[in-house]
């Protein structure tokens, strides 16, 4: 079977297998939202409107139907992309996902870049120079970075770079001028500002992005360091590594080409799990920096007891997890030829 | 009948700790030292902390607002005029209480489930694995937030709430839900690999009851894994607790001091250059989590055969081989 | 009674100038938490161009360690002493960066388990290119490919499989790839560490044929390390028998197998199973600890011909049968072959059975 062919088959198979996972997660979200007593409308608006009005709206929204019907309707809604409208401020959940989701997306991508650069570099150094001061330093860095809650790191960075040094902004995604001026087509401000040639906006966006991205990135890098180090130490003892050395291949090449690449495989797999940490960290980071992403919206709607919004956002998060997990598996198949068979 | 000495798993753990020389042992001891320090703070908080966690006056005099560290207030005061040092110490009590509760709950539920599921197998096992994997896949903070949110004000009549306070129990339960799958998974996998071992088979062949086999043979063997996982779990639990506190869920500010909550308040102080309201609670978190992580890492290094670092000395080969001239012993 | 430790010159094979690789008094000790493991404890050996030497012994006698020590591939925490002369240089004590250029084009190593010796993420082609680039960076890539394909063809691997991944090959094929990979660099010395142990008999025969052709086609010196006497009998010019970190007998393969000089060799040969075997023969006792080997002759606790002197003084290397006036090639480390004037009075009395048992326990 040709290399391309087997990869395609794997992709298709994997996509098909993702469906049951999605269903399970959606069911979980559905049940989680129904655990609270009283229907969402009652809980959100009770005391603000007359009971009649509440009952009317409840019936309209279908909360008096048997639970199974509601479940089926919910699934149908999700697959048609209709996630509802919020109770408290009448935005469609979809618009929330687009506007605020893109903010979260920009943040997480930037954070992953930071995490990769920091995590991989320190991880390789620590694994290669095991049991030397470099290794201990790297490990200590990894532990401390993990031990510091992401909002504390954000707070410290704000204190240092925002307040004391005054170099970087500490709040929001862009300044008020850019907010007003920028033409938001994709809602990814970095791209939008480049498209419209607005370099002031670009600079503003980047400056605002630095602190939150570094904060969130450091969090994930701590985990990456540990992973890369341990796996590198194991692969460096591998039989093929010894064989390469016996052929006189230079040590640097042995480490980077053979040991490291093989070490990446389990790291990539576990990286999928890290996405869950990334999401949790994103919520906290957004709160810390007033970043208008899905995380802050979730918190806001949760406090206002707007369950429709909460359900919609959590659904998207759950789907994102599955999507990322799928992508990780595909990347794995691309890197490791053994997986495809 | 093959007789596994009691506590074999735990004794083995102790032996390995003794063996490991050098770095892992130090890591372990430093970690234990830190944890013990905080436990002492937690237990003796009323004696050590100069003031109560929400105390704003003393001898009728109200504390200054947002005052920098001074001799009266070693860590300064907050915008609400509470003493930062006291809140940090009381926060230790909150943290330790929540962590202990949640770890106990998680182990009490996760380990037996894993043991049983792994040993019995079949549909029960598959079903549990499905549920646990789904829980595991869910972003943990989200799960904790939702559970904490849903349980707020619901646990007031729960018996433990009278001892610890409803908020603390709520936070503990939220964290427990997130970690049960981890214990379950680790224990179950280990049980599956152990249950095919010859000594287990022998016991079964000799007619040992299922309870005995699980209880005496498998349990003590599997239990080795739990301490390392428990310490890492504890480290995570503190971070989760702080995250919940930061967002305002779990523990109400009126019930107890919580480090995460303090930091959330401190962010507003950043603009004014007031650093003491956030730095001290934050350092406390870093220190305690590092302590638990060091214990966990230390245990891991000690137990993991592949990367266990034992002090191996490069031998000195004597220059000239001394021939053997001894008589054979009679 | 006790004499200062002066050893007679090891009776090494003649004309060391002919030897491509010359090992003298090599010792390789592994560090442990307690006493070191003396895996190789005083070995001398010569490898000549175009010659195949078999190195046999039980598992754990140190033969693999010897192979690796010769190439400087021992793990950290291992100490090496002695001399390994290659082209006028002593390899022992050279740094890793000085040894690296020699590994491959001068000294080749073929490992035991082919299944795990190739990087699963890298194609066969890239394995070859990497090895060639590490040593001959100015050779043109196409020329490298041509040579690689030629080496593979010599092993029976078709060029269509050049770009495939290791997991697409069977164990036997992977071993052939490993050999090709070692040979493409034209090494002068090839050390094959149990190359067929992990393979089935039919594949083993193929590999052995290839190795046998080696001396004809490549003029390399081959050290074949194995515990299988049959292979050695088939393919080797000379054989060295190793026990407890030392070479106890060495000589022309045919001679050693027909007239073994050392009791251990003799017992080994008798333990081999053939169609005429009616009862299992084995050597009583267990292989000795390398941390604390038996005094004097290390085989004396298990030797049916043990004498008193064997437990008292280190045996001296002699040409076999020297005492009887024979003129045989080779050498043996055994008191049965003298020299008689070194044996103290009464030393020739046999070692009593109980003493053997006691010696075993000690």
Query: Which of A288, A281, C323, A46 lies closest to B240 in space, CA to CA?
Result: A281
C234 with C92, same domain? yes
Whether C320 maps to a domain, the answer reads no
Residue pair C20/C86 in contact by the 8 Å Cβ criterion: yes
Res C238: pLDDT? 92
Q: Which of B22, B31, B35, B138 to mutate to test the interface with A (most CBs of A within 10 A)?
A: B138
Whether C338 maps to a domain, the answer reads no
Question: Residue B134 and residue C34: Cα distance in Å, rounded?
Answer: 49
Q: Which of C28, C30, C31 to mutate to test the interface with B (most CBs of B within 10 A)?
A: C31
Question: Residue A173 and residue A154: Cα distance in Å, rounded?
Answer: 15
Whether C352 maps to a domain, the answer reads no
| Alpha-carbon dihedral angle through residues C171, C172, C173, C175, given to the nearest 10 degrees | 90
CB-nearest partner of A317 from B142, B247, B278: B142
Residue with tokens 């100490």: C79
CB atoms within 10 A of CB C8: 10
Strand partners, C83: C24
Written as tens digits, the pLDDT of chain C (362 aa) is 333 433 344 444 444 447 889 999 999 998 887 788 888 988 999 998 888 999 998 877 788 889 889 888 888 788 899 999 998 889 988 888 888 999 989 999 998 888 889 998 899 999 999 999 999 888 889 999 999 999 898 888 899 999 999 989 988 889 989 988 988 888 889 999 988 887 888 888 888 888 777 767 778 889 999 888 888 888 889 999 999 999 999 999 998 998 888 999 988 888 877 777 777 777 777 888 888 888 888 888 888 888 888 888 888 888 887 667 777 788 898 888 878 787 778 777 787 755 555 555 54
C272 with C131, same domain? no
Whether C359 maps to a domain, the answer reads no
Tokens of B305: 């055969």
C17 with C80, same domain? yes
**Which is more confidently placed, C47 or A73?**
C47
Kindly report the nearest CA distance between residue A69 and chain B, in angstroms. 23
Tokens of A294: 């899905």
Residues of B in contact with C32 (CB under 8 A): 312
Whether C149 maps to a domain, the answer reads yes
Nearest CA in chain C to B321: C5
Question: Residue B157 and residue B160: Cα distance in Å, rounded?
Answer: 8
The reply to whether residue A321 touches residue B139, judged by beta carbons under 8 angstroms, is yes
Whether C137 maps to a domain, the answer reads yes
A44-58, A274-288, C249-263, range with the lowest pLDDT: A44-58
CA angle C204, C208, C211 (to 5 degrees): 145
The reply to whether residue B315 touches residue C311, judged by beta carbons under 8 angstroms, is no
| pLDDT class of B323 with cuts at 50, 70, 90 | very low
CB-nearest partner of B290 from A147, A275, A279: A147
Show which of C289, C305, C336 is a domain's final residue.
C289
Question: Residue C180 and residue C225: Cα distance in Å, rounded?
Answer: 18
Mean pLDDT of chain A: 81
Sequence-separated (6 or more) residues with CB below 8 Å from residue A147: B235, B239, B285, B286, B287, B289, B290, B293
C213 with C253, same domain? yes
C2 with C71, same domain? yes
Tally of residues, chain B:
330
Residues of A in contact with C105 (CB under 8 A): 248
Question: Residue B217 and residue B207: Cα distance in Å, rounded?
Answer: 14
Residue with tokens 């010894």: A242
C172 with C224, same domain? no
C89 with C54, same domain? yes
C257 membership: H or E segment, kind and range = helix C253-258
Res A150: pLDDT? 92
Residue pair C79/C31 in contact by the 8 Å Cβ criterion: yes
Query: Which of C214, C200, C69, C87 lies closest to C155 in space, CA to CA?
Result: C214
Q: Does ipTM exceed 0.90?
A: no
Res A44: pLDDT? 64
Kindly report the nearest CA distance between residue C201 and chain A, in angstroms. 23
The reply to whether residue B310 touches residue C29, judged by beta carbons under 8 angstroms, is no
C221 with C171, same domain? no
For residues B211-217, average pLDDT? 70
- Whether residue B324 has pLDDT greater than 50: no
Q: C244: left (phi > 0), else alpha (psi -120 to 50), else beta?
A: left
Show which of C133, C160, C183 is a domain's final residue.
C183
The reply to whether residue C103 touches residue A336, judged by beta carbons under 8 angstroms, is no
Whether C158 maps to a domain, the answer reads yes
List B residues 122-151 in contact with C (Cβ-Cβ < 8 A).
none
The reply to whether residue C31 touches residue B321, judged by beta carbons under 8 angstroms, is no
A54-68, B226-240, C263-277, range with the lowest pLDDT: A54-68
Kindly report the nearest CA distance between residue C310 and chain B, in angstroms. 10
For B50-82, how does the pLDDT look when each residue is reduced to its tens digit (9 = 90+)? 888 888 877 778 888 888 888 878 888 888 888
The reply to whether residue A338 touches residue C165, judged by beta carbons under 8 angstroms, is yes
Kindly report the nearest CA distance between residue A73 and chain B, in angstroms. 22
| Alpha-carbon dihedral angle through residues A166, A172, A177, A178, given to the nearest 10 degrees | 110
The reply to whether residue C119 touches residue A262, judged by beta carbons under 8 angstroms, is yes
Kindly report the nearest CA distance between residue C35 and chain A, in angstroms. 23
**Which is more confidently placed, B101 or A73?**
B101
Question: Residue C105 and residue C94: Cα distance in Å, rounded?
Answer: 17
Kindly report the nearest CA distance between residue C4 and chain B, in angstroms. 8
Res B157: pLDDT? 63
Query: Which of A99, A77, A150, A67 lies closest to A315 in space, CA to CA?
Result: A77
C169 with C54, same domain? no
Nearest CA in chain B to C1: B325
Q: Which of C71, C76, C120, C185 to mutate to test the interface with A (most CBs of A within 10 A)?
A: C120
Q: What is the rounded end-to-end Cα distance, in angstroms, of chain B?
A: 41
DSSP helix/strand/coil, A321: helix
Q: How far are the Cα atoms of A339, B170, C176, C179 from residue C113, in angstroms, in the given order?
A: 22, 56, 12, 12
For residues B3-17, average pLDDT? 58
Residues of C with CB under 8 A from a CB of B: 1-3, 5, 7, 27, 29-33, 36, 41-42, 76-81, 295-296, 308, 311-314, 351, 355, 358-359, 362
Show which of C158, C183, C208 is a domain's final residue.
C183
For A194-246, how does the pLDDT look when each residue is reduced to its tens digit (9 = 90+)? 777 878 888 888 888 999 999 999 988 888 888 888 888 888 888 899 999 99
Instruction: Answer whether the bond into residue B198 is a cis peptide, omega within 30°.
Output: no
Whether C316 maps to a domain, the answer reads no
- What CATH number does residue C249 fall under? 3.40.50.300
The reply to whether residue C5 touches residue B327, judged by beta carbons under 8 angstroms, is no
C267 with C195, same domain? yes
C164 with C49, same domain? no
For A121-159, how does the pLDDT look when each residue is reduced to its tens digit (9 = 90+)? 998 888 888 778 888 888 788 888 888 999 999 999 998
The reply to whether residue A247 touches residue C116, judged by beta carbons under 8 angstroms, is no
The reply to whether residue B150 touches residue A288, judged by beta carbons under 8 angstroms, is no
The reply to whether residue A337 touches residue C113, judged by beta carbons under 8 angstroms, is no
* Size of the A and C interface in Cβ pairs below 8 Å: 76
CB-nearest partner of A163 from B23, B263, B273: B273
Res C14: pLDDT? 45
Range of the domain at C236: 1-106+187-289
Alpha carbon of residue C278 to chain centroid: 31
The reply to whether residue C118 touches residue A243, judged by beta carbons under 8 angstroms, is yes
For A154-170, how does the pLDDT look when each residue is reduced to its tens digit (9 = 90+)? 999 998 888 888 888 88
The reply to whether residue B286 touches residue A147, judged by beta carbons under 8 angstroms, is yes
Res B153: pLDDT? 65
C90 with C126, same domain? no
Number of domains in chain C: 2
- Whether residue A293 has pLDDT greater than 50: yes
For B271-317, how does the pLDDT look when each residue is reduced to its tens digit (9 = 90+)? 888 888 999 999 999 999 999 988 887 777 766 654 455 556 678 77
Res B40: pLDDT? 94
């Amino acid at each position: 079977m040709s290399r391309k062919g087997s990869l395609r088959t794997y992709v298709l198979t994997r996509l098909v297998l993702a469906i049951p996972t999605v269903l399970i997660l959606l069911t979980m979200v559905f049940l989680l939202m129904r655990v609270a007593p009283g229907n969402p409308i009652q809980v959100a608006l009770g005391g603000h409107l007359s009971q009649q009005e509440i009952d009317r709206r409840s019936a309209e929204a279908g909360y008096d139907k048997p639970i199974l019907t509601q479940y089926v309707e919910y699934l149908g809604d999700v697959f048609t992309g209709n996630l509802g409208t919020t109770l408290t401020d009448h935005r469609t959940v979809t618009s929330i996902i687009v506007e605020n989701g893109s903010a979260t997306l920009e943040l997480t991508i930037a954070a992953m870049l930071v995490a990769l650069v920091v995590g991989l570099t320190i991880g390789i150094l620590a694994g290669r120079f095991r049991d030397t001061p470099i290794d201990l330093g790297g490990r200590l860095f990894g532990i401390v970075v993990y031990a510091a809650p992401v909002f504390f790191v954000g707070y410290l960075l704000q204190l240092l770079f925002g307040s004391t040094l005054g170099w970087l902004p500490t709040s929001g995604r862009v300044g008020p001028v850019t907010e007003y001026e920028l033409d938001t087509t994709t809602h990814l401000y970095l791209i939008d500002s480049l498209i419209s040639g607005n370099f002031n906006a670009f600079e503003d966006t980047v400056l605002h992005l630095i602190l939150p991205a570094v904060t969130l990135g450091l969090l994930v890098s701590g985990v990456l360091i540990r992973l890369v180090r341990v796996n590198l130490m194991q692969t460096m003892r591998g039989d093929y590594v010894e064989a390469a050395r016996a052929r006189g291949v230079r040590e640097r090449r042995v480490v980077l080409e053979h040991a490291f690449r093989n070490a990446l495989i389990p790291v990539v797999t576990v990286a999928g799990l890290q996405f869950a940490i990334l999401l949790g960290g994103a919520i906290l980071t957004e709160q810390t920096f007033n970043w208008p992403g899905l995380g802050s919206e979730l918190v806001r709607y949760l406090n206002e007891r707007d369950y429709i919004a909460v359900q919609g956002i959590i659904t998207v998060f759950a789907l994102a997890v599955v999507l990322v997990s799928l992508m990780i598996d595909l990347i794995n198949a691309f890197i490791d030829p053994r997986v495809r068979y | 009948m093959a007789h596994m000495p009691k506590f074999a798993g735990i004794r083995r753990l102790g032996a390995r700790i003794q063996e490991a020389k050098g770095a892992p042992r130090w890591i372990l001891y430093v970690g234990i030292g830190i944890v013990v320090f905080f436990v002492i703070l937690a237990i003796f908080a009323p004696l050590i902390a100069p003031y109560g966690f929400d105390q704003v006056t003393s001898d009728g005099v109200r504390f200054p607002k947002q005052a920098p560290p001074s001799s009266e207030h070693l860590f300064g005061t907050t915008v609400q005029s509470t003493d930062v040092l006291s809140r940090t110490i009381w926060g230790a009590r909150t943290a330790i209480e929540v962590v202990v509760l949640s770890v106990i709950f998680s182990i009490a539920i996760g380990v037996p489930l894993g043991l049983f599921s792994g040993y019995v197998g079949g549909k029960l096992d598959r079903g549990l694995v499905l549920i646990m994997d789904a829980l595991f896949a869910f972003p943990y903070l989200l799960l904790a937030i939702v559970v904490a949110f849903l349980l707020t004000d619901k646990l007031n009549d729960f018996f433990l709430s009278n001892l610890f306070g409803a908020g603390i129990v709520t936070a503990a339960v939220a964290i427990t839900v997130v970690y049960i799958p981890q214990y379950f998974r680790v224990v179950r996998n280990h049980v599956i690999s152990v249950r095919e071992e010859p000594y287990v088979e022998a016991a079964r062949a000799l007619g040992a009851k299922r309870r005995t086999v699980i209880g005496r043979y498998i349990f003590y063997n599997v239990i080795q894994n739990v301490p390392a996982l428990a310490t890492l779990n504890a480290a995570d639990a503190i971070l989760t607790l702080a995250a919940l506190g930061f967002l305002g869920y779990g523990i109400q500010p009126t019930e107890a001091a919580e480090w995460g909550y303090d930091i959330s308040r401190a962010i507003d102080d950043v603009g004014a250059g007031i650093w003491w309201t956030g730095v001290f609670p934050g350092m406390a978190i870093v220190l305690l989590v590092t302590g638990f992580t060091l214990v966990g890492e230390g245990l891991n290094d000690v137990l993991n055969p592949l990367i266990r670092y034992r002090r191996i000395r490069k031998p000195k080969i004597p220059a000239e081989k001394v021939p053997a001239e001894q008589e054979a012993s009679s | 009674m006790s004499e200062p430790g002066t050893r007679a010159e090891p009776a090494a094979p003649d004309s060391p100038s002919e030897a491509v690789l010359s090992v003298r008094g090599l010792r390789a000790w592994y560090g442990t938490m307690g006493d070191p493991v003396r895996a190789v404890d005083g070995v001398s050996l010569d490898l000549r161009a175009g010659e195949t030497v078999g190195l046999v012994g039980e598992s754990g006698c140190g033969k693999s360690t010897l192979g690796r020590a010769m190439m400087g591939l021992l793990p950290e925490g291992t100490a090496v002493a002695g001399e390994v002369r290659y082209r006028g240089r002593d390899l022992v004590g050279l740094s890793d960066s000085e040894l690296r250029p020699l590994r491959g084009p001068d000294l080749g190593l073929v490992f035991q388990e082919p299944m795990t010796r190739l990087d699963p993420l890298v194609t066969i082609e890239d394995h070859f290119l990497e090895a060639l680039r590490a040593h001959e960076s100015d050779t043109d890539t196409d020329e490298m490919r041509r040579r690689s394909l030629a080496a593979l063809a010599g092993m029976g691997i078709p060029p269509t499989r050049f770009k495939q991944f290791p997991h697409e090959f069977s164990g036997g094929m992977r071993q052939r790839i490993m050999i090709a990979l070692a040979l493409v660099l034209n090494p002068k010395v090839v050390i094959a560490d149990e190359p067929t142990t992990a393979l089935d008999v039919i594949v083993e025969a193929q590999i052995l044929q290839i190795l046998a052709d080696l001396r004809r086609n490549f003029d390399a010196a081959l050290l074949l390390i194995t515990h299988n006497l049959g292979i050695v009998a088939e393919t080797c010019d000379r054989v060295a028998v190793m026990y407890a970190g030392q070479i106890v007998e060495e000589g022309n393969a045919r001679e050693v197998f027909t007239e073994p000089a050392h009791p251990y060799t003799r017992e080994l040969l008798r333990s081999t199973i053939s169609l005429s075997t009616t009862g299992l023969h084995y050597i009583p006792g267990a292989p000795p600890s390398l941390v604390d080997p038996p005094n004097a002759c290390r085989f004396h606790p298990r030797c049916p011909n043990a004498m008193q002197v064997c437990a008292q003084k280190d045996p001296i290397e002699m040409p076999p049968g020297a005492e009887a006036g024979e003129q045989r090639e080779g050498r043996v480390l055994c008191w049965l072959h003298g020299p008689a004037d070194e044996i103290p009075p009464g030393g020739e009395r046999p070692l009593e059975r109980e003493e053997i048992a006691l010696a075993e326990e000690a």
